[in-house]
Amino acid sequence: MDKERILAKYVPAEAAPIVARWIDYFKCDFKVSKGRNTKFGDYRPPYNGDNHRISVNYNLNPYAFLVTTVHEFAHLQTWNEYKGGARPHGLEWKLNFKKMMRPFFEKEVFPADLKHAINSYLENPAASSCSDLNLFRALKRYDQQSQGVAVESLAMKTVFMLKDGRTFRKDELVRKRFKCMEINTRRIYLFSPLAEVFPVSGD
Ligand SMILES: [Zn+2]
């Protein structure tokens, strides 16, 4: 299946093509892994002719998934440049994290509060662990988005959001599917009654 489409289930839609390109460019085995309590993601350097390996927990919200992905790719890039010669979250890693975060800032992938939290994380020389608390808290605020409901359970004319942030209005039942209009483009899409979506409260 198409990498970009799979990735768009986990990261904000505009971010998916960039991550897909990195996976190819760096020849990385990228795996969506089951939820681990001890870590969000993992990077393994390419030993014995293997590829680089990155895994990220499936149960992160799209922003946390993306930040974790960039975090791990910064480990990969640092390994490419220094092999074992740089500390895991040292200055070299930090500069790469910053650089690799840039395309997502340019595409305005993050809401303002997260952009701010990520920036202060990047500016703070003491913040170096995989789970800096302030950034973690800011990301956590978006967790409720992962509890979606089925389209069929919404009232007609309800506005809802997909995981990638696109918003739609539920308009009518056509045969067994729901006709919904994307708010931004006014284009019509047909949704399975069981599609998982996130109602946007109108008031
Ligand atoms: Zn790390």
DSSP the chain: --HHHHHTTTS-GGGHHHHHHHHHHTTEEEEEE---SS-SEEEE--GGGPPEEEEEETTS-HHHHHHHHHHHHHHHHHHHHHGGGS-TTSHHHHHHHHHHHHHHHHTT-S-HHHHHHHHHHHH-TT--STT-HHHHHHHHTTGGGG--EEGGGSPTT-EEE-TTS-EEEEEEEETTEEEEEETTT--EEEE-TT-EEEE----
Same domain, 129 and 56: yes
Same domain, 50 and 64: yes
The residues of the chain scoring below 70 in pLDDT are 1, 125-133, 144-147, 201-203
Same domain, 98 and 32: yes
Same domain, 174 and 140: no
CA of 48 to the centre of ligand 1 (A): 22
Residue 23 has a pLDDT of: 97
CA of 130 to the centre of ligand 1 (A): 5
CA of 67 to the centre of ligand 1 (A): 11
- Supply the range of the domain harboring residue 173: 148-199
Same domain, 185 and 122: no
Same domain, 44 and 82: yes
- Could you give the number of structural domains in the chain? 2
Residue 146 has a pLDDT of: 54
